[in-house]
Structure 1
Amino acid sequence: MKRAIQSREGVGLAATVIQKSELYLARIVADLPTLVFVRKGTKTLKGNENEFVIREGEAVAIAGGQAFDVVNRPSGDEFQSAWIAFHPNVIQNYKPIRDDLENIESAFVFSPLGEGFTDAFRLATESITTRMNISEQIAAHRVTEILLWMGEFGKKFKVPSSETVSQKVRNLLSSTPARDWQAIDIADRLEISEATLRRRLAGENVSFSEILIDVRMSFALSLLQATDRSIGEIAKEAGYDSASRFAVRFRDRFGYSPTVLRKETSLTDRNGTILDRVRT
């Protein structure tokens, strides 16, 4: 079976991660509110003096914009999880039945999960990945059901609010990581001068080049973990014509070469695939 990160406009993204041995990955950013369902093995998230352990059959909801150190620990011969990242419109349009739900500030582990949640997660994933003729309205409804299940635990994702400048820059870069982005391009999009952009980013203790590299490396990591594309193809998707330069950047960021990570996350019947965008 070909693996891909698949997305549906206005609904969200979905993918499956398979890993053969334990690896430590530092400061992984969840740009969108995301729910991860661990099917085999154990996932550990560490950040801001918090630690979350998600065991087989459990799920974790991660608030958008959060960064964690991640350890995926296999059970037997592999670790396997599936995730859904929610489009902001889905979060914005969700109307909780209860008014006492607490916002998830960083992450929250859901356990125990009933059979109903498993069925809802499968249907939500299919609404993003399927080639069947499912309307966007039905797809959004299925994904929203996951939010309703979260409400059964008294939790919800925060409604998107005003973003920091660095978050706005990250979101713009994430739309097309391979583009030859320059700071002036982003400044124009934000309708400010380049000098103002750099000054505001400095006020948030980050630079344009740092954000660009991190967005590209995070995107490449997702492709390596959840698709069967070749490393050369992933390098180009991440904005690098030189596979060797890409490998150096990737090792600097995560401590592992793309080859090592691909070896640990590939299937024996790799066929190559694409990053699909599903449309109705």
Structure 2
Amino acid sequence: MPTPYTALLAQLEALADCELAGECLHIKAQLPHTLKSVDVERPTFGLVLHGSKRITRDHQTVHLKAGDVFLITGRCVVDAFNAPDADNGRYLTMTLHLCDEVLSAARILWAQPLRRDEARVVGLPIATLADSLHHWSQALHRGHYEQARVTLVQIVIWLCRQGYHSLLAPPPQRLADRIHALVAATPARPWQSRDMEDVLNLSGASLRRHLAAEGTSLSQVLLNARMGHALQLLSTTTLPVKTVAARVGYRSTQSFNRQFAARYQLHPADIGNQ
């Protein structure tokens, strides 16, 4: 049944075919599934277009239906349940990881003290942001990339006015994040410690010491980066699991399946897009 926002939801869904909307991911699924311990690396904004979603962080759970907006205000780990619509069998969510360019511009314009708070998961009715989402998506469809960025900055500032200050909190500078970014850019590369040592100009001992101080290890960062990229491919494309495994550096699909299932407590095929 049409709603006052049916046209807007269709406009946002059509961004899947818009070349300028590269940072906007359309997450699909044909089967209901739960993903455990998903790393959210940066502030993330999204909208459920078809089906329903449930996001849990610690003891906080947000239930979302088609047309609901969600906001994850900073780096955290969440569990996510995604379910297709009972009538049309589709699950589709648009997510946008807010980039450094947008967040930096919003910090400059905010120019006020930021209250220190933890990352939160928030559900918002689409009515609160309908006009802004319309202007943003319309700008992208028309090829006005700079106008779309300005609208995103305005959305971030509005959210801060609602009290979500952690959106603009500068993230701590971590060595693990630099390594994660390197691996995510070329996940199929057989990364070794010596590769990171050369790129980061660190000795092997220093590399291990810095990562240990951050509570992780090189092997764990490599695994998280590859599994995160695999999850994105499995959720946004119809690539076979074997192809996804190869694209993130696994020659053995069986080994990839084991690692993915251990990481997210879900078999790759259970997302249902393949």
TM range (shorter): 0.7 to 0.9
Within 2, Cα distance between the matches of 1:191 and 1:7? 36
Alignment of 1:268-279 (within 5 A): none
C-alpha change, 1:159 and 1:243, in structure 2 (3 Å) is same
45-54 or 85-94, which deviates more:
45-54
Within 1, Cα distance between the matches of 2:238 and 2:181? 25
**Aligned counterpart, 2:8:** none
Secondary structure at the counterpart of residue 52 of structure 1: strand
Q: 1:252 aligns with which of 257, 262, 267?
A: 262
The aligned amino acid for 1:111 is L
C-alpha change, 1:88 and 1:21, in structure 2 (3 Å) is same
**Aligned counterpart, 2:99:** 87
TM-score (norm 2): 0.78
Within 1, Cα distance between the matches of 2:15 and 2:150? 25
Deviations 1:23-75 (A, max 9, x none): 11111111222102122333222233333333432222213431111112344
C-alpha change, 1:5 and 1:122, in structure 2 (3 Å) is same
Within 1, Cα distance between the matches of 2:268 and 2:217? 25
Within 2, Cα distance between the matches of 1:195 and 1:30? 29
C-alpha change, 1:125 and 1:170, in structure 2 (3 Å) is farther
Within 2, Cα distance between the matches of 1:242 and 1:202? 29
Q: 2:120 aligns with which of 97, 107, 110?
A: 107
Secondary structure at the counterpart of residue 23 of structure 2: strand
**Aligned counterpart, 1:34:** 44
Q: 2:182 aligns with which of 172, 175, 184?
A: 172
Aligned length: 258
Within 1, Cα distance between the matches of 2:75 and 2:198? 23
TM-score (norm 1): 0.77
Within 2, Cα distance between the matches of 1:4 and 1:245? 31
Within 1, Cα distance between the matches of 2:110 and 2:206? 43
Give the conservation status (yes or no) of the 8 Å contact 1:4–1:228.
no
**Aligned counterpart, 2:150:** 141
**Aligned counterpart, 2:218:** 208
C-alpha change, 1:125 and 1:176, in structure 2 (3 Å) is farther
Give the conservation status (yes or no) of the 8 Å contact 1:63–1:104.
no
CA root-mean-square deviation: 3.2
Higher relative contact order (CA 8 A, sep 6+): 1
C-alpha change, 1:46 and 1:189, in structure 2 (3 Å) is same
The aligned amino acid for 1:118 is A
Q: How far is the alpha carbon of 1:108 from its aligned partner? A: 3.6
Within 2, Cα distance between the matches of 1:158 and 1:231? 37
Alignment of 1:41-190 (within 5 A): 41-76=51-86, 77-94=89-106, 95-96=108-109, 99=112, 105-114=118-127, 117-124=129-136, 133-135=143-145, 137-151=146-160, 153-156=162-165, 157-190=167-200
Give the conservation status (yes or no) of the 8 Å contact 1:42–1:79.
yes
Within 2, Cα distance between the matches of 1:196 and 1:20? 45
Instruction: Report % sequence identity.
Output: 24
C-alpha change, 1:4 and 1:12, in structure 2 (3 Å) is closer
C-alpha change, 1:251 and 1:2, in structure 2 (3 Å) is farther
Q: 1:193 aligns with which of 186, 189, 203?
A: 203
Q: How far is the alpha carbon of 1:2 from its aligned partner? A: 10
Secondary structure at the counterpart of residue 111 of structure 1: strand
Q: How far is the alpha carbon of 1:222 from its aligned partner? A: 1.0
Task: Structure 2 unaligned segments of length 5 or more: list them.
Answer: 1-12
Secondary structure at the counterpart of residue 216 of structure 2: coil
Secondary structure at the counterpart of residue 79 of structure 2: strand
